Amino acid sequence: MPLFDYFRAPDADAVRQALDAGGGATPVGAVFDGIEAKGVDPSVVLAMMVAAVRQVPWSADLVDDRLVWPVGVEQDPEYDGPWVSELNTSARDVLAGAGDLPRVAREWARIEELGGNVDVADAQVFVESVVDLARRAREADEPLFCWISL
């Protein structure tokens, strides 16, 4: 299962420097404030959390991301990771402004991509950790990033 770690950092340059220095290892914990989120990809599973917060249907534009590390691999079909993408600020701000986290967790725990049967209490703990990270990022005026490894 692919690994996804979400973190906040001052900017993409700081991320590139940290990943280059660390050989591509996750910067969560060692370098940047973040959370491990195995199986929670940004464009679908995290976007479904954003949809639950906003109380709208999922759509592909709820979480946009752009590759920031490593530079130049967009054109390399042989490259198999890891990668780091920067998430759009609007997704960060929606998550940071989330209310009624028990409702969000109940809805999100039922999504098909998570098997439809995640324990709601576990989902709420995870939702709270994502929301707290987004709030810290917004407070510091920092973007959110996602480290991805297959």
Which of the four pLDDT bands, split at 50, 70 and 90, describes residue 147?
A: very high
Q: What is the pLDDT of residue 27?
A: 97
Q: What is the pLDDT of residue 2?
A: 84
> Does residue 117 carry a pLDDT above 80?
no
68-81 mean pLDDT: 87
> Does residue 1 carry a pLDDT above 80?
no
Half-sphere exposure of 24 (CA within 13 A, CB side): 11
**Cα 20 from chain centroid?**
20
All structural domains of the chain with their residue ranges: 3-19+32-144
Residues contacting residue 17 through CB under 8 Å, at least 6 positions apart: none
80-91 mean pLDDT: 95
How many other CB atoms are there within 10 angstroms of residue 7's CB atom? 25
Amino acid (1-letter code) at residue 26: T
